[in-house]
Amino acid sequence: MHAGRPKKALGLALGAFLLLPISVAADDRGGLYHRFDGDLASSLSLGGGVAFGGSEPVGHFAADLQLRYLGLAGPLLAFGWGPEPARFAIAGVAVRPLFPAIFLLNWSTGHEWFDLAFQSLSFELGAALAPLDAELGVGLALGGSLSLPLLSPSYGGWSLALKMGGRYVHARSNARFGPQEDVEVGTLYLALEVEKLWATGWTRKSEGPRYRLP
């Protein structure tokens, strides 16, 4: 087999996935569950949890705002607020890799709650500002989460979920733009996540003109 064939096949599969909303919006076939009723999803999560890194665990407030194109990936803003060291802000990217992979391979189970929960597995990577005080510095942020559906996207494009996740923030004082003192904190949290699907028309614009045969 030629070395270029797998790359070509992968490219065709990804291209088909990106153009799917044109033809399968508002259709549940293949485990979509109305997720292609819009091409852009925005979500807001509010909750709290426990932060580790100081002399003892402390409670903290957790919040994040995300945008995802085709349910796959997009920018992330996250905040943690509580007693030291649980004070940070994160700007980065969140990715849900399982949804396109399972859809393209037709591995959906047909059970909406399980599919939506399993495919919501998300990974985060970004830059952290910590601590949020006069000793502010820049560091690395990693995270992950899973959302258990309470209300599916079939309800007018709105969905509701219980989000479980964790984040790790590390900022070194000897790094460029680092804080005055080292910051290392890990958090676990539970949050209520509200998501809305939007039909932006970006995908339809890329479709090009249609022609009808005489």
Query: Contact at 8 Å (CB) between 169 and 8?
Result: no
7 lies in a domain?
Answer: no
Give the per-residue pLDDT at 157: 84
Q: How far is CA 184 from CA 95, 110, 142, 173, in A?
A: 23, 42, 12, 11
Query: Contact at 8 Å (CB) between 187 and 2?
Result: no
CATH number at residue 129: 2.40.160.20
Give the per-residue pLDDT at 152: 79
Instruction: Give how many domains the chain has, as a whole number.
Output: 1
List all residues 6 or more positions away from 181 whose beta carbon is below 8 Å from its beta carbon: 135, 173
Query: Contact at 8 Å (CB) between 86 and 133?
Result: no
12 lies in a domain?
Answer: no
20 lies in a domain?
Answer: no
Q: Would you call 70 exposed, middle or buried from its count of C-beta atoms within 10 A (0-12, 13-18, 19+)?
A: buried
208 lies in a domain?
Answer: no
186 lies in a domain?
Answer: yes
pTM tops 0.85, yes or no: no
114 lies in a domain?
Answer: yes
23 lies in a domain?
Answer: no
What range does the domain containing 174 cover? 33-200
CA atoms of 81 and 104, how far apart (whole Å): 39
End-to-end Cα spacing for the chain? 41
CA atoms of 87 and 59, how far apart (whole Å): 11
Q: Which stretches of 25-87 are DSSP H helices?
A: none
210 lies in a domain?
Answer: no
Closest CA to 71 of 197, 166, 202, 204: 197
pLDDT (tens place) for every residue of the chain, 214 residues total: 455 565 555 555 555 444 444 333 334 545 778 777 888 999 999 999 999 988 899 999 999 999 999 889 999 999 999 988 889 999 999 999 998 888 888 888 888 899 999 999 999 999 999 988 878 899 999 999 999 999 877 667 899 999 999 999 999 999 888 888 899 999 999 999 999 999 887 655 544 554 444 5
